[in-house]
């Protein structure tokens, strides 16, 4: 509604709603896109600087919360660009938690981790403004990927410690000198 009102105030003599979404002969998909093309929206430099400052001084949960507040209440013109720029910082705690849970410090950030971050942000957006990410110009998270991710993580964590310790006891003596050198770390 905000973007429609903005267009109604700024477009002279609109003949239809479709006319309001047409900019220089291009039919926009949304009123928001038309507002952007007409230069009626501020750029996102203020939100970019705000998020950049938070990356320096806040943890991932706080950055995620700030991002959710910005996209639900401040209406940045390019929220996906902000997400792409700050998604590593937004998802850093998810990566850290996964590394601890799997006892694998070499795990790198993946699309599944970004998806987890999007789900957490969407949950916050629902709490703040009762809006899905798609309603605030973002990409929708894949909730089925989230379920698969959790199942895979649970599978990785379901192992018998005694069996693994026995395997190590039986196989470490079989290592050659070079291999054995790396087990001392």
Q: What is the pLDDT of residues 49-104, one digit of tens each?
A: 999 999 999 999 999 999 999 999 988 988 999 999 999 999 999 999 999 998 99
Q: How many residues does the chain have?
A: 185
Q: Contacts for 132-137 with beta carbons within 8 Å, 24 or more apart?
A: 133/71, 136/71, 136/72, 136/75, 136/79, 137/32, 137/71, 137/76, 137/78, 137/79, 137/80
Measured between alpha carbons, how far is 95 from 105 in angstroms, rounded to an integer?
9
Question: What is the number of helices (H) and of strands (E) in the chain?
Answer: 11, 2
Q: Output the pTM of the full model.
A: 0.63
Per-residue pLDDT reduced to its tens digit, 112-125: 999 999 999 999 99
């Amino acid at each position: 509604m905000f973007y429609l009102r903005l267009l109604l105030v700024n477009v002279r003599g609109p003949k239809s709603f479709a006319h309001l979404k047409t900019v220089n002969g291009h039919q926009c998909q949304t009123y928001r896109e038309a507002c952007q093309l007409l230069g009626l929206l501020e750029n996102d430099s203020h939100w970019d600087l705000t998020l950049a400052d938070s990356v320096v001084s806040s943890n991932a949960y706080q950055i995620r919360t700030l991002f959710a507040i910005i996209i639900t209440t401040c209406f940045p013109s390019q929220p996906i660009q902000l997400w792409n720029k700050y998604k590593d910082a937004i998802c850093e705690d998810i990566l850290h938690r996964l590394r601890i849970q799997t006892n694998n410090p070499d795990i790198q950030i993946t699309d599944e981790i970004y998806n987890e971050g999007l789900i957490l942000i969407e949950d916050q957006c629902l709490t703040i403004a009762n809006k899905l990410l798609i309603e605030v110009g973002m990409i929708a998270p894949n909730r089925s990927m989230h379920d698969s991710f959790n199942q895979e993580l649970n599978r990785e964590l379901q192992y018998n410690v005694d069996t693994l310790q026995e395997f190590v006891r039986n196989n470490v003596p079989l290592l050659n000198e070079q291999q054995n050198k790396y087990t001392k770390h």
